[in-house]
Structure formats: structure tokens, C-alpha cells
Amino acid sequence: MTEKRIIIFDTTLRDGEQCPGASLTPKEKLEIARQLARLKVDVIEAGFPVSSQGEVEAVRLISKEVKGPVIAGLSRAIRKDLEVCLKALEGARKKRVHLFLATSRIHMEFKLKKSEQEVMDIAVKEVRQARKFVDDVEFSPEDASRSNPEFLVKLIREVIRAGATTINIPDTVGYAIPDKFGELIHYLIREIPDLAQGVVLSVHCHNDLGLATANSLAAVLNGARQVECTINGIGERAGNTSLEEVVMALKTREDFYGVTTGIDTTQIHPASRLVSHLTGMVVQPNKAIVGANAFAHEAGIHQDGVIKKAITYEIMDPKSVGLSGSTLVIGKHSGRHAFLERLKQLGYELKEDQVERAFELFKELADKKKDVFDEDLTALIEQEIVGEPCLWELDHFTITSGDAATPKATLGLSKDGKVLEATMTGDGPVDACFKTIEKITGVKGALLDYSTRSVTRGKDALGEVSVRVSSGKRLVSGRGLSTDVIEASIKAYLSAINRLAVLAERIPGDHP
Ligand code: KIV
Ligand code: ZN
């Protein structure tokens, strides 16, 4: 029976860390390695020990601490590298040495300055040497996708004879295209029977043309049994094949590929967040599987569909990759259905007569703000619907201020369907507004506290102004919300003044 399980070889800590600006300390690498073990990757390539003392430490630490996956160390086919690599891996329960040597004409001629025969001899010698110390040896003919296929076949046969247990075919410079890469894999398996039996054929693709995932999947279709990849697709230049894309493609389209992986896919998002946080490599919002928008629906029609049946617009269950659910991005494209559904999720079941008003207010806010977050909705409902004594309401306002001008506010406040307007000056625009409110309402207060904070995210965040106002013995507070801080201040003060007015009406004797 053919093997149906694809080995997931994670190289986030080696090739992934090679991406500019993503260097990690040994402790950070250990933290990621522990998460990779929870994700149940089969192999963790922990580092390239000869490259620095930090790499040695990281590989040593991970070898000692992380149980479950095989721990691999990278080594050039150079005796010194191999010795350092073997030493760093000493503590690992299951260890692998990953040797590489370039085989393309371009690399052999310009970089190595060696002939095919010399390259073959070195590869065979170092694989044989490695096998004296470990049972698990992977060999990569670097730049394989640009190497002469006949030479590749000869060399791979020899390194297998020398003891290599995995042969990895790297598309080092991301030059391959899926059909051709698939053909190469097919050709190698046909020409080297060991690759169809005991020896594992692996692929390692770079993303220079944005084809790393497609190339890896084409290889799987043609018989590759191991895929090398990184979390979030980080890596040298444009990165490596992204683990989450390959794993979820194989899972979602198992009907087509007919293979599985051992990955616990619910650990994908935690892994993505950890890698992004520790490397400082931000995940682009539209990145497949792990981008912030990967399970977010904005269009009203899509939102309506997802509420009715998720499968209308979702090919994967967000829970299967470790999210709590999909997101309906509540914004100006959202319809009433999505808006009410989100309110329900937030615990607000509005009465019929409240729905109209709430939806109207929401649309007003959505026009001012790009995304309306849960905090915005809660704030909106609490302030506008759940209740607040509302004798006076803000109808309109204009402010004049500036370097030379004395701040002046004109406000229109409505009560019982009538709008009263007044204009006052003040020490600042907020002070002018407060004085105008007092003039119109006839209620005077002393401002004890004024504070402002942003309650939501983004440059167009909702600001909340809180005030504490006293009048005689009475102390009241008020809150106002708006994307405009002056409007929020007016609403806050007006709500406090309304409270004072209601108290005065309801308990007149107590009012000084
Ligand atoms: O891209 C590459 O060729 C590599 C090898 C070391 C496998 O990373
Ligand atoms: Zn690579």
C-alpha cells in the first residue's frame, strides 16, 4: 500500500529565521519549537549550528527540551560543519543531520568552483560520515530545480547508497513552476526506485514567483512524501512554502490529493501569532489561512449567506485552524441582518421599536468610521438605546476658534420637538460649548472632572469623554461618545446636565 501521510518538516527556525530582520534568541527559538511540537510537525529544523554560537545553543536547547518531533540541524557538506552540527544535536531523542551541497551548473561553476565529479565525491563522503553517527540523514542538492536532471539522478543514487534516508529537492531560488516541478519529481521517482520505497523524497520551495505552495502541492501529486515549510511562509527573500497553506490545502482538498498530515490544525493560529510576535514579521491581512481577513466577511451579501449557512462563503471552518469563529466585519457594507446578529451575539436583543433607531445610528457611525468594532456597538447601544435621561438632545453645533479668535460655540439643543439655539464664548472650544449648554438649559453645573479616552481602535476611533459635574449637593456624571472629541464633550456634559435637570424635576426639594 502506498504511504498516504505527508511528513511536515518545519524550517521556521532555520530558513524562516534567515529572512531579513527576523533573528531570534535561543530562548525565543525554544518557545517556538514548543509550539511546533504542539502543532505536531514531524521534523523541526532547529538551526544551522556552524553559523554562530547562538545557533549552537538554540539547537542544543531544543534538542534537550523538545519531545515529539525529530530535531534536525543543517550542515554544509563540510567536515567541520558536520562535527558542530552533530555535537549540537547530541541531546535530541530523535535527531537528523541535514546536509546540503549545490548541484546546479551555475552554483558549481561560480560558487563552488568544482566539477560534477568533485561535488558527487564530497556529497557521498559526508553522507557516509554522517551515517556513522546518526541513522537519519537528509541530503539536499542545493538549487536542484536548476540542476541537470541526469546529473541529479546519478548523484542521488550515490548518496542513497552512502546512507541518505531522505532526499530533499530544493527550489532554492523559487524558479520552478508547478507543472515542470511536478515532472521533475515524477522523473526522479521513476529513475530512482529507492525513492518509491524506503527513502523519503522531500521538497523545499521558495516563493520568489509566489509559487512555493503550488510547487509543493504539485510535488505531492507526483509522489513527494515530505514538504519543507515555515509558519507564515517566512524565509529567505520572498520566503518559503507556508506550512498553513500546504496543510490546509491537503486537508480541505483531501478528496483530490488523497493524503493526510499529522498536524493538529487547531494550533495553526497560535503558532502564527507567536512567530509573528517573536520575529516582528507582521502577517499581511489577506494572507491565506492566518491573515486577519482570511475569515472576515465584509460584503452584506456574504454576511447574510454566512449567517444562514457558513459553507456558502467559507471553505474551511475557522475553528479548525484555531480561531473562535469567522468575523463579520461590521461596517457600512453590512446589512440589518448582520448588524442585528452581531448585537445578539453581544447580548442585545432589541425591541422592535428600537431596531429602527439603532440601525439608523449604526449607519451614521459606519459612514464616519471604516470598521465598527464590538466596542463601538456596545457603546452605541448603551448610550443611545439602553437609556439615559434625555430631556435635551444635541441638534447641531458649530465652533469658531483659532490663534486670534476667542473660542465661540453655537449650539442647537432640542427639547419636546423644539430647537433652541444660543452662542457663547469661553476659554476654549469645550468651555464655550459647556457655557452654551448651561445658557440654553438654564441648568448650571461645576465641572469637577473631564477626561477623554479612545474606546475603540484605529485613527478614526470613537472617543469617550467622561465628566463629573456638581450642582449644589448633587454630583452627577456624564459620558459622551463620538469620533469628534468636541461632539463627545458636548454629549457628555449634556448628559450630566440632563441628569441634573431630571433630578431637579423628580426631587425638587432636594435641589438647592
Ligand atoms: O533553499 C535551499 O536550497 C535550502 C537548502 C539548505 C535546503 O534552504
Ligand atoms: Zn531554503
* Residue 1: per-residue pLDDT: 41
71-80, 96-105, 316-325, 355-364: range with lowest mean pLDDT:
355-364
* Residue 460: per-residue pLDDT: 77
Band (pLDDT 50/70/90 cuts) for residue 507 is low
Closest ligand 1 atom number to CA of residue 74: 6
- Cα 51 to averaged position of ligand 1 atoms, centre (Å): 14
Closest CA to 385 of 348, 330, 338: 348
Read off the pLDDT of residues 1-23 as tens digits, 9 standing for 90 and up: 444 999 999 999 999 998 877 88
The pTM for the full model equals 0.74
- Cα 204 to averaged position of ligand 2 atoms, centre (Å): 6
Distance CA 49, CA 69 (A): 18
Q: Which residue's CA is the nearest one to ligand 1's atom 8? A: 15
The burial of 351, by beta-carbon neighbours within 10 Å (0-12 exposed, 13-18 middle, 19 or more buried), is given as exposed
- Cα 17 to averaged position of ligand 1 atoms, centre (Å): 13
Closest CA to 231 of 260, 201, 267, 261: 267
Helix (H) and strand (E) counts for the chain?
A: 17, 16
- Cα 127 to averaged position of ligand 2 atoms, centre (Å): 19
The answer to whether the CB of 153 falls within 8 A of the CB of 120 is: no
CATH number of 393-506: 3.30.160.270
Read off the pLDDT of residues 367-417 as tens digits, 9 standing for 90 and up: 887 778 776 786 677 666 555 667 899 999 999 887 778 999 999 999 988
* Residue 385: per-residue pLDDT: 59
* 240 touches ligand 1 (CB under 6 Å): no
> What is the pLDDT averaged over residues 185-193?
98
Domain ranges of the chain: 7-279, 296-386, 393-506
Q: Which of 48, 101, 140 to mutate to test the pocket of ligand 1 (most atoms within 8 A of CB)?
A: 140
Closest ligand 1 atom number to CA of residue 170: 3
* Residue 503: per-residue pLDDT: 66
DSSP assigned state of 223: T
Band (pLDDT 50/70/90 cuts) for residue 244 is very high
* Residue 131: per-residue pLDDT: 98
Read off the pLDDT of residues 275-303 as tens digits, 9 standing for 90 and up: 999 999 999 999 999 999 999 888 888 98
7-279: CATH architecture: Alpha-Beta Barrel (3.20)
